[in-house]
Structure 1
Amino acid sequence: MQPKERILHRSFIFILISMMLLSSGCQLRSRMPQNQPPTGAAQPLEEPIDAHPLSGKILSMVSGGAISREALFAKLRHSRFVLVGEKHDNPEHHQRELQLLQALQQGPQTRLVLEMLDEQQGKAINGLNSASSETQIQEQLHWNDHSWPWQDYGPLIGAALSHNNQLRAGNLSKPFLMQIYRSGVPDQPRLTTVGGISQTIRSTIQQQVYESHCRTMPLEQMGPMTDIQISRDASMAYALSEQLDKQMQAILITGAFHARKDTGVPQHLQKLTSDPVITILLTEVDNTIKTVQEAVKNNAGMADYIWFTSRSEEKDYCASLRQQPHKKEP
């Protein structure tokens, strides 16, 4: 490979990895516009005004029926681990997450793990406390508003700090992800569960990664990207469970792919702990699925609860990747 081609290839891979940090929670298509998210405290727990019959409903995958928010929150209080999967650019998802956190917070007995914080930022968290201003928090964490808009995740961080929750970084930094891409998964405590993922699950994840990256690389070349996805799941599971006191509850906010019971973080948690894990997927309504029965069938095995929301603004997530030149490794 010539020097110019190496630069183009590295540039393309960096774009793919950057997109991976966002695509794990983003569906490839959205159709309906949505209001801007709140930037401060949570709004009242009103149901979204939407013509879709499932909008605002919470479905239990165990019972196959709808439950109320209050009933959901009551069940969550008895689970050691609560995983919430979002679509990253849906404003209503951020509102629901903040409401959920506020309903479960128990001061220092609550650990909040965010996919939006990586291991480099994690080193700076100890310098923050309930007295830290919004500006101090952003500066301390070297917050990248382009990757993760502060208006979406700042309220979660602020709520955790103001209530003395234990805040943890769940993700891996881009330099670390590049290391995995080039050299494979390193032998580190937070990644010990990677090798325990079955080939069947790995193949499912590889297909997900292929689709979420808009088929810009051949499926058979997505192995390193699959390693990255599985490593990020392992890292979040480790952040949730490492030295978690028996009386504590850990809550994860992450993309929908990562929260899925059949392929994501729960697969790693079950190798680290036998404690109860509840997964909630915040899911945009779909005009092809309008009944509770259809929704339960369509989401079987993916989560314990599906919380339906309105749709976010339509975007073509693949447009930027289609425009990027890329070369194959020699």
Structure 2
Amino acid sequence: MISISIPDSVTATRRLAYRICGYLLPACCLLFFANPVHARDWQSAFYQDHALVGKIWDTRKSRWISEQQLHAAVLDSKFILLGETHDNPDHHRVQAQVLNWLAVAGQKPAVVMEMLAQEAWQNQPAFWTDLKLLQQQAAAQDQRWPWDLYTPLLQSVVDHRLQLVAGNVKRETLHARIEANGQDWRQELSARYSIPEHGLGKLEQEIAESHCGYVDAAHLPFMVEAQLQRDRAMTSALADSPVPAVLVAGRGHVRNDYAVPVQLRNACHCDSLLSVALHPVHPDALEPEDYLQGTSNAYDILYFTPNHTREVPCEKFSHQLQN
């Protein structure tokens, strides 16, 4: 056996390293629990091996960023807008992680949800302590949402005693508020909601594409204003909440060119907001630009996840119409 002599200086260095690790262990634990979802934890079954999965693209600087850099950007923002695919479980887990980041940093973000209607979400507790009761109450006011998939997000709300705020309005309220009509409805809506006309054009395009070309032209003004009304309700809820405030909504509501960010900047005259699109990957879309629909600044951040389905949305939509 060969005996190797270790210099005292090396031994001392090792002792110092062990001691430092001992001191840093609690902080390391905090960072471990504050990290976003890792690849091995994905729950959406499809395209987990896609080249973009788990990557984060900063559209403002046109470069990839790390989870730590996203973490820092979240902590540096007064308003964090998280756009989701409602049925993707990984999106709700990432949303929960963002809340955990803020809570670990000692902040108590208000959580504004598109899924809750302001008219129905009345006289609720300031803070929730029972997850099941919270889910039951949420489902009682609107059963259309997949509340079981929102469990990680709602668990963070309960664990950190965060304020949960309704961000939407009922359809009946929307119908009563719709005013757009006539040939000049675009100019009318642009002025009323302070949305540039090119932004309204993008919104029209988004509505047409999301309905796979089945939109009746006569109904288009109604559909556009309904979206703007929902954005206004979410904007008001955010502006009236203590900061930091987090919005949980569909991706269309967090776009920088026509949605909540535009109205929020007009309402509070602030630029301290971060629009994050949680985006499922598609097998034929291999570059970040493929997900921006020709608008480079549609979102501040693209966070790529696996997809919860292989279905092509318009094929599914056509099948639903036929049945």
Q: TM-score, normalised by structure 2?
A: 0.74
Match of 1:257 among 252, 255, 258: 252
Provide the secondary structure at the position in 2 that maps to 1:71: helix
Match of 1:53 among 44, 48, 51: 51
Distance 2:264 2:76 in 1: 17
Aligned-residue CA RMSD (Å)? 3.1
Distance 2:301 2:106 in 1: 25
Structure 1 residues 300 and 217, CA, compared in 2 at 3 Å: closer, same or farther? closer
Provide the secondary structure at the position in 1 that maps to 2:99: helix
Structure 2 unaligned segments of length 5 or more: list them. Answer: 1-32, 43-47, 182-188
Where in structure 2 are the equivalents of 1:100-119 lying within 5 Å?
100-105=98-103, 109-119=108-118
CA deviation vs aligned residue, 1:20-46 (integer Å, no higher than 9, x gap): xxxxxxxxxxxxxxxxxxxxx999731
Q: Aligned-pair distance for 1:311? A: 1.4
Match of 2:310 among 314, 320, 324: 314
Q: Aligned-pair distance for 1:137? A: 4.8
Q: Aligned-pair distance for 1:123? A: 1.2
Q: Aligned-pair distance for 1:79? A: 0.5
Where in structure 2 are the equivalents of 1:181-330 lying within 5 Å?
181=178, 194-242=192-240, 244-245=241-242, 248-275=243-270, 276-291=272-287, 300-315=296-311, 316-319=315-318, 322-323=321-322
Q: Are positions 1:166 and 2:163 aligned together?
A: yes
Q: 1:87, 1:255 within 8 Å by CA — same for their partners in 2? A: yes
Aligned to 2:24: none
Aligned to 1:131: 129
- Larger RCO: Structure 1 or Structure 2 (Cα < 8 Å, ≥ 6 residues apart)? 1
CA deviation vs aligned residue, 1:135-181 (integer Å, no higher than 9, x gap): 35523762433x11111224323421332222111111122123235
Distance 2:141 2:250 in 1: 18
Structure 1 residues 220 and 42, CA, compared in 2 at 3 Å: closer, same or farther? farther
Structure 1 residues 291 and 208, CA, compared in 2 at 3 Å: closer, same or farther? closer
Q: Aligned-pair distance for 1:293? A: 6.9
Structure 1 residues 91 and 139, CA, compared in 2 at 3 Å: closer, same or farther? closer
Q: Are positions 1:73 and 2:68 aligned together?
A: no
Q: 1:42, 1:95 within 8 Å by CA — same for their partners in 2? A: no
Q: Aligned-pair distance for 1:128? A: 5.6
Distance 1:129 1:279 in 2: 26
Larger-Rg structure: 2
Aligned length: 273
The code of the aligned residue for 1:198 comes to P
Distance 1:203 1:293 in 2: 20
CA deviation vs aligned residue, 1:173-232 (integer Å, no higher than 9, x gap): 122123235x559xxxxx999532233222221222122223333235310111100111
Q: Aligned-pair distance for 1:236? A: 0.7
Distance 2:34 2:289 in 1: 31
Q: 1:60, 1:306 within 8 Å by CA — same for their partners in 2? A: yes
